[in-house]
Amino acid sequence: MSERLRIADQIVPTLAYGDAIGNDAFELQRLFWRRGVQSEIFVDDAKPEVRAFARSWRDLRRERSSAGLTLLHVSMGNDAIDEIAKLPGRKAVVYHNITPARYFSGINPAAEKYAAIGRRQLKDLASQAELGIADSEFNRRELEELGYARTAVVPIIVDWSAFDVEPDAAVMKALSEERTSIVAVGQLLPHKGIHDVIAAFARYRERDRGARLYLVGSTAMSSDYIGRLRADVERLGLRDAVTFTGSVPIESLVAYYRGATALLTLSEHEGFCVPLLEAMRSDLPIVAHAAGAIPDTLGDAGILLNDKTPEAVAAALERVVGDRELRKGLIAKGRARLAEFTPDRVAERLRDALAMAGWDLPERRTRKVVVLSSDQRCGIHHYALSLADGLRTGGHDVTFVGVRHLNAKDLGAKVRHIANDSEAVIVEHEHGIFSDVPFVRALLSFWRRKIPVVLSMHELEPEKFHHFRMISSALHYRPRYGRVLEFFRAPWVTLRIANWFLRYRAVLAITGAIPIHLATHSERSDRWITLLSNDARKNERFPLVLVPLEDTTLPKNDAEKRALRERLGLPVDKFIFVSPGFFFRRKRFTQVIAAAPRDSVVVLSGTRSGNEPEYFDEVMDYIKERAFTNVVMNTDYETMGQYVAAADCVVLYYEDVFQSAVAAQAIWAGLPCIFSEARGFEVYHGAGLVARDSGELAEHMREIQKPETYARLRARVRYLQRMLAPERNADRYLTRIP
């Protein structure tokens, strides 16, 4: 008898940016969400770029681990794995292969040590895990040999959206000028057989003197091995024919795949080999050594060699380079082979694997959903629309319902018109949209009609509730009468406080009890979630999805950006910072102006705030008194998005913030940022620089203009664009809907 899978948490001991194993965990998480399964990722260590998307494994709630399945990804030993193995609940191992320790001997002592520890831990886990999932048949056989009772193969899922970028023009030009370009992709380590690649290329080049070899991969762990490789290049007379590229941005990697003549892989040990899939998708023919999992991954989509002597490899390269029909056939077979690695096909394999342990992976289901929020043009309104679009992209039938701010009559009318057959109502809630009591009435209406509610709280703290403010005001009342009258007045005030407190608690209790899912999006709101509910099973914190800039088309290239700047009256040849949004004192616009280099431009693009109208005047006076000539003021709401699109960097030096829709818009626009230390910006830190004070703000505003810094941050922005895309994250809202 199988049990419906409702929770599938994953543990990735070390989660890294751009790592194939981490990417696989994120894609599995997305697969689970799309099928209504809750899934969080827990780690022992997470690199800064991905830290916001994971939690410490020590936070893995015992009631959740016992109620569902915990998937432990293993690719190397880790000090935490022995403790993780002791956690209660049902477990499965997802095995990505551990490179044998001998390959790290004399290269990386730490890797050698933990590779050995990992082999021992993998064997120990055989008695703890109900299921061993391997990403290749090669890895599955190893699990079987170690005593795993049930084993299955579920390939890695690759997020191909990362490859949908314009290839680096300089790389493409260099490759186009060559007759033959051989590329090898992967870390430069001994088990990758890079020394064999160089030797084979030298033999091939005897017949093709214009050929070049590009070794594309990190040298961070290469140690003395890189010296051996360079010595081989010199000894074989290949100094002008071999390029060590090191780690490259995705645009360059895509260019190497698209512009090269063939991919050469001569690894001695591979657990999966993702570059094979990347080459197939790029229509790049492959020559590979039949070692480890390479035959499992490659299939018939390349030339497999059991003999990797220089003569044999050179002969294979000659065939791939010179035989047009063979190349055409390999490219076609590569495209066909990729069908085995689509998310739908992987989902089928995962479903079959989980069934072996008695778990039923639900089928993908689309729903009729209502998104309820503000009808006014503001951050949360645009956020709600973005979420609705993300749900529609996933195939859901979505209706957006906007309500007037603090208008009980309008809220009541809109709620009554929500169809009874709606399968979920997602409320994007922010202080200033809903009055407390009318909102509770709306929740009760949904409860009576048996419509599940997902409540997304963007600003949660006691001061955001009307009756709490009444209590606070009453506690600080001041005597106005004589002593006798004040003596009798005190009990009256006490009764009023008691009345307001009871109302306050009633509002909180109903607000927390009726929704089946409570979501927060910042540490500040999450800190107060127990005001509403202490049921950890219904509470969840996750980042905002990206929000498009309203009525804004992003420039496709530098020429379009220059044209946009000319249209807005901005200089085309200067670095432009922008700080968008309403003028609130906490945004510290004057500090931003003061910190900006004088050869740059600062655009303040926003409108006067109704709560602090005087701050706008203070900023204007500050600019005038100090005669700043590099500040541009834009108070036209209709063009705010265009000014952001025309800029190079968004500066958000806020004193405090819950979470930031403006930051989500900046990432959508592909712009690096400079942030303050406010906790609400933490999720975006990988895509920007963090200033602790005004002095550091000034330093960062100079640093971000350096081409190498800007390119590094732009790459991280693109990563966040994928991770925070509405179409990726919207289904997470629905994982608790029956």
Which tens digit of pLDDT belongs to each residue from 85-120? Answer: 998 889 999 999 999 999 999 888 999 999 999 999
Q: Which residues sit opposite 262 in a β-bridge?
A: 182
C-alpha angle 445/447/450, rounded to 5°?
115
Q: Which CATH code of 1.10.630.10, 3.40.50.2000, 3.30.230.10, 3.10.450.40 fits the domain covering 3-154?
A: 3.40.50.2000
Domain 368-541 belongs in CATH node 3.60.110.10: no
Phi and psi at 349, nearest 5°, equal: -65, -40
pLDDT the model gives residue 64: 57
The class (CATH top level) of 558-728 is alpha beta
- Does residue 418 register a pLDDT over 70? yes
pLDDT the model gives residue 172: 96
Over pLDDT 70: what percentage of the chain?
Answer: 99
- Does residue 482 register a pLDDT over 90? no
Average of pLDDT values for 307-314?
98
| CB-based contacts of 591, cutoff 8 Å, min separation 6 | 653, 694, 697
What whole-number distance in Å separates Cα of residue 508 and Cα of residue 436?
9
Q: Which residues sit opposite 673 in a β-bridge?
A: 650, 688
Fold match between 161-338 and 558-728? yes
Which pLDDT band holds residue 566 (cuts at 50, 70, 90)? very high
Over pLDDT 90: what percentage of the chain?
Answer: 87
What whole-number distance in Å separates Cα of residue 334 and Cα of residue 282?
9
- Does residue 441 register a pLDDT over 60? yes
What whole-number distance in Å separates Cα of residue 411 and Cα of residue 417?
10
Phi and psi at 257, nearest 5°, equal: -65, -40
C-alpha distances out from residue 511 to 120, 440, 472, 624, Å: 50, 6, 21, 48
Note whether 77 and 121 are within 8 A (CB): yes
What sections of 569-660 are H helices per DSSP?
589-595, 613-625, 640-646
What whole-number distance in Å separates Cα of residue 162 and Cα of residue 263?
20
Structure tokens at 97: 């292969």
| DSSP three-state, residue 677 | coil
Note whether 49 and 717 are within 8 A (CB): no
Structure tokens at 36: 């209504």
| CB-based contacts of 559, cutoff 8 Å, min separation 6 | none
Closest by CA position to 120, among listed 150, 87, 158, 85: 85
pLDDT the model gives residue 491: 84
Per-residue buried b or exposed e for 502-539, using 16+ beta carbons within 10 Å of the residue's own CB: ebbeebbebbbebbebbbbbbebbbebbebbbeeeebb
What whole-number distance in Å separates Cα of residue 672 and Cα of residue 234?
41
User: Residue 635 carries which side chain, given as an amino acid letter?
Assistant: T
- Does residue 484 register a pLDDT over 80? no
pTM score, whole prediction:
0.93
Q: Which residues sit opposite 182 in a β-bridge?
A: 213, 262
What whole-number distance in Å separates Cα of residue 618 and Cα of residue 590?
9
pLDDT the model gives residue 597: 97
Note whether 210 and 240 are within 8 A (CB): no
Least confident of 404-408, 492-496, 548-552: 492-496
User: Residue 668 carries which side chain, given as an amino acid letter?
Assistant: W
pLDDT tens per residue across span 621-635: 999 999 999 999 999
Ramachandran assignment for 119, one of left (phi > 0), alpha (psi -120 to 50 degrees), beta (any other): alpha
What whole-number distance in Å separates Cα of residue 39 and Cα of residue 49?
20
Phi and psi at 403, nearest 5°, equal: -120, 150
Residue with tokens 């064997």: 123
Closest by CA position to 189, among listed 232, 215, 225: 225
pLDDT the model gives residue 18: 81
- Does residue 419 register a pLDDT over 90? yes
Average of pLDDT values for 340-354?
96
According to DSSP, residue 406 is labeled T
Residue with tokens 């020559």: 287
What is the rounded radius of gyration, in angstroms, for the C-alpha atoms of the chain?
A: 29
Which pLDDT band holds residue 67 (cuts at 50, 70, 90)? low
Which pLDDT band holds residue 476 (cuts at 50, 70, 90)? confident
pLDDT the model gives residue 647: 98
User: What are the boundaries of each domain within the chain?
Assistant: 3-154, 161-338, 368-541, 558-728
Fold (CATH) for 161-338:
Rossmann fold (3.40.50)
Average of pLDDT values for 481-490?
72
Query: How high is the mean pLDDT of the chain?
Result: 94
- Does residue 420 register a pLDDT over 60? yes
Cα–chain-centroid distance for residue 377? Answer: 27
Least confident of 394-408, 476-490, 526-540, 611-625: 476-490
Helices 310-322 and 324-338: angle between axes, nearest 10 degrees: 90
Q: Are strands 41-46 and 673-675 parallel, antiparallel or unpaired?
A: unpaired
Which pLDDT band holds residue 474 (cuts at 50, 70, 90)? confident
pLDDT the model gives residue 221: 87
Average of pLDDT values for 594-601?
97
Average of pLDDT values for 42-48?
93
pLDDT tens per residue across span 132-190: 999 999 999 999 999 999 999 999 999 998 899 899 999 999 999 888 999 999 999 99
pLDDT tens per residue across span 518-546: 999 999 999 999 999 999 889 999 999 99
According to DSSP, residue 38 is labeled B
User: Residue 296 carries which side chain, given as an amino acid letter?
Assistant: D
